[in-house]
Amino acid sequence: MKFGFWSLRNFLCAANLLHLVVGVSLMVVAGYGKSYGVVWSLRIISVMMVVGVFLIFISMLGIAGALRQNQFILFTVSFTRYPKYPKYPQYLKYPEYPNTTYVSL
């Protein structure tokens, strides 16, 4: 069982590292296009920069969530990448156990 969690954590880190590389490369390409005059439209360059910053932020959240094994951060990252889920999914609710009180930390 430990090997499964270990390999899943490493896979999540590798996938988020790939997203980090894509975000940085997107910003580098936008900077190259601006500095050498390849792209003249400021709108295209600014959109590339914003998307690059967003990818870097989300990938850093994903890496932190995978390394800390924090489910809240991982759910946040998965909902920002794939917005097809409902606003409050049923599987995030606490299971209904009788005579149980939940203590908030």
Cα–Cα distance between 55 and 69 in angstroms, integer? 20
- Helix, strand, coil percent values for the chain (each to nearest 5): 70, 0, 30
Strand (E) or helix (H) holding 48: helix 42-68
**Where do we find the tokens 């997107």?**
26
Residues for the chain: how many in total? 105
Q: Where are the domains of the chain?
A: 2-84
pLDDT in tens, the chain (105 residues): 577 777 888 888 899 999 999 999 999 999 998 888 888 888 889 999 999 999 999 999 888 888 887 777 777 766 665 555 455 555 555 556 555 565 555
- Residue 44 identity (one-letter amino acid): I
